[in-house]
Chains A and B, each alone.
Chain A
Amino acid sequence: MGLTFAEKALSAKAGREVRAGEIITVEPDAVLSHDNSAAIAKNFAAIGVEKVRYPERIVIVLDHCVPAADFKHATNHKEIREFVAAQGITHFFDINHGVCHQVLLEQGLAGPGRVLVGSDSHTTSYGAVGAFSAGIGRTEAACTWATGELWLRVPETLVITVSGAWPKRIGSKDLMLYVAGQIGADGGDYLSVEWTGAAVHALSVDERITLANMSAEIGAKNGYIPPDDKVAEWLGCVGAKPCFAQKTQGRPDFSPAETSQGDTGLGAEAPSYIPEKGKEADSNSQQGEAWLRPYEEWHTDPDAEIARAVQIDIANLAPQIARPHRVDNVADVSAVAGTRVHQCLLGTCTNGRLEDLMAAWEVLKGRQVHPGTRLLVFPASQRVNRQAVKAGLMEQFIDAGAVWMNPGCGPCLGAHEGALAPEEACISTANRNFKGRMGTPESEIYLASPQSVAAAAITGEITDPREV
């Protein structure tokens, strides 16, 4: 009997062959936390250890409320900076970097075969580049700081195979919402969720991150997309090296025979940005350090035991939307078209990358934000921000009437900027629409793609992006 990706990645970490259902203790390659790091530091102090076990494996990114909204948040940030200095934590990214998941990826700290945990539920994001990554809580983050290890149950696997050509103005967010609607918010509980098939491999890495990120919304332990050449190229662009240990053994054929990404519709006058290989790494990028294991590609064997398999054909997929207050309360956008929205949110760790901004602009170009609504744009990181500025996107959005914000989590969790008032509705590219999520339980949140958010910004109401 063969092994799944999760079994292989965790076997490599455990130093022995492990199978789904086993509970193992592993030393993760990295432990991520963010503005919650002061609270974790408090838990750490309660343990009674003076120094963290592996300061180089701790990644801290300030992103949830940046710049600080008030003195309480400022104090929180100050305590984190003091802890970072006292403990000699090198992978600290202050408020000028972006959302933690995007920053960790851009730093090349995640890659094929790495095992990462993070005190944030969307830690699943790194599966987009072939890593095994799972969210944990604050207390266990503190204990992992102290001991360098934690327990994990080796998960069973759900494989979602996606086929078909991508229709115009339909992207990975529509696929993700469609799957959530089909299998439910608990459809992937405890599972390693693998996204594969020609239509998934036709997606850019930027778009794949949306799938891995929101796998958390179907309860997944980790999301994963088998790494291919696009991942190697993407990691090369952020300056990560060595890209792959050239270990592509066992990689299935991902050739997108009948699938194409289709015409982007951007046209010749589109803003463009072509990344240069290896030129984009931040000056303090930490990749290629001795403590990091080289990347190792792991692929699920054809005869591995799979808990559940789901087949999706996206050829006829319409734009999807999650209605209040559940991520799996999904319908075609057309079913709620005409619903008034007071705010449109484009960005966050789910859809705040350059391609997302481009996709929204492609809908918005030549139009104006409707006076009855407001469009907020939150690039996922300063790197994305810089790309967007260089491509001329920021100016285009501002000219169209959008509010261009600083990279960060912003209003997604109602902690900072762009909160909703009672009786207001928001269409958002973020990942959760739970009651009260954006500030008050009397407001409503709809989740949709960057294209659908742009379409709503034009009309002031929920609108099928193919019809504007």
Chain B
Amino acid sequence: MGKAFVYGDDINTDVLFAGKYTYTVTERSEMAKYALEDLDPAFRDQVKPGDVIVAGKNFGCGSSREQAVICLTELGVAAVIADSFARIYFRNAINQGLPVIALQDAARKIQPGDEVTIDLAAGKLTAPSGAYSFPAFSPEVQAILDAGGLVAYTQQKLQL
């Protein structure tokens, strides 16, 4: 499905999308240009649609800025796989329709450049080191993902 880009623990929103751009970069497509600027400047040129980000614990800690999710979805990142996620990042990702998968020791099970395949419905992830299962999302979260994100979900709810 895609290639893995692997990072460490506590990857924060400032290195995913720097604060200095938060009020001047307003177009979604433009946000992609600044993805991971202070973490891995080569990322935005190397990543291809379908690739995944793999990290340790507490991915996305820090600010509530949603651009830290959107800059990834705009580049076609298919999922983020990490030991754990900071709570607002988790919510933002679900709300943007980006699957965030909690997998223990993710950054040890998956190496940089590994080909990773994810079956969301089955809760299964396959990497060169083996096949792993991950727990299903709660029904509330799954409903938002199924709708394609929170805006679409809200439109359904309001019958728009």
Contacts of A221 in B (CB 8 A): 87
**Alpha-carbon gap, A140 to B91, bound state (A):** 9
A interface footprint on B21-46 (CB within 8 Å = 1, 0 otherwise) = 01110100000000001110000000
Q: Which of B14, B37, B96, B140 has the most CB of A within 10 A?
A: B14
B interface footprint on A35-76 (CB within 8 Å = 1, 0 otherwise) = 110110011001111000000000000001100000011001
Q: B57 near A: Cβ within 8 Å?
A: yes
Q: Which of B10, B19, B23, B95 has the most CB of A within 10 A?
A: B23
In the complex, are the beta carbons of A137 and B23 less than 8 A apart? no
Pick from B66, B155, B157: contact of A138, CB below 8 A: B66
B interface footprint on A326-346 (CB within 8 Å = 1, 0 otherwise) = 101000000000000000000
In the complex, are the beta carbons of A415 and B22 less than 8 A apart? yes
In the complex, are the beta carbons of A189 and B15 less than 8 A apart? no
Beyond A121-B88, A139-B150, A186-B86, is A413–B63 a contact (Cβ under 8 Å)? Answer: yes
**Alpha-carbon gap, A142 to B65, bound state (A):** 14
**Alpha-carbon gap, A326 to B10, bound state (A):** 9
- Closest-by-CB residue of A relative to B24 is A72
Question: Taking chain A's interface residues, is the majority helix, strand, or loop, or is none over half, making it mixed?
Answer: loop
In the complex, are the beta carbons of B23 and A135 less than 8 A apart? no
In the complex, are the beta carbons of B14 and A435 less than 8 A apart? yes
**Alpha-carbon gap, A415 to B38, bound state (A):** 16
- Closest-by-CB residue of B relative to A409 is B19
Number of residues from A at the complex interface, CB < 8 A: 50
In the complex, are the beta carbons of A434 and B88 less than 8 A apart? no
Q: B160 near A: Cβ within 8 Å?
A: yes
Q: B154 near A: Cβ within 8 Å?
A: yes
In the complex, are the beta carbons of A120 and B86 less than 8 A apart? no
Q: A273 near B: Cβ within 8 Å?
A: no
Pick from A23, A64, A143: contact of B151, CB below 8 A: A143
In the complex, are the beta carbons of A186 and B10 less than 8 A apart? yes
In the complex, are the beta carbons of A143 and B154 less than 8 A apart? yes
**Alpha-carbon gap, A147 to B158, bound state (A):** 8
- Closest-by-CB residue of A relative to B92 is A137
- Closest-by-CB residue of B relative to A431 is B62
B interface footprint on A185-214 (CB within 8 Å = 1, 0 otherwise) = 110011000000000000000000000000
Contacts of A123 in B (CB 8 A): 64
**Alpha-carbon gap, A137 to B150, bound state (A):** 11
Pick from A38, A42, A439: contact of B20, CB below 8 A: A439
Contacts of B116 in A (CB 8 A): none
Q: A392 near B: Cβ within 8 Å?
A: no
Pick from B38, B64, B69, B160: contact of A135, CB below 8 A: B64
Contacts of B10 in A (CB 8 A): 185-186, 326, 328
Pick from B18, B19, B95, B151: contact of A47, CB below 8 A: B151
In the complex, are the beta carbons of B58 and A185 less than 8 A apart? yes
Pick from A140, A190, A434, A437: contact of B95, CB below 8 A: A140
In the complex, are the beta carbons of A23 and B22 less than 8 A apart? no
**Alpha-carbon gap, A161 to B86, bound state (A):** 24
**B13 CB to nearest A CB, Å:** 8
- Between A and B, 26 residue pairs with Cβ closer than 8 Å are A36-B65, A39-B26, A46-B151, A72-B23, A73-B23, A120-B63, A120-B64, A121-B62, A137-B92, A138-B64, A143-B150, A146-B154, A147-B158, A151-B140, A186-B61, A189-B86, A219-B61, A221-B87, A413-B14, A414-B20, A415-B20, A432-B12, A435-B39, A436-B15, A436-B37, A437-B19
Q: Which residues of A contact B (CB under 8 A)?
A: 23, 35-36, 38-39, 42-43, 46-49, 64-65, 72-73, 76, 119-121, 123, 135-140, 142-143, 146-147, 151, 185-186, 189-190, 219, 221, 326, 328, 413-415, 419, 432, 434-437, 439, 441
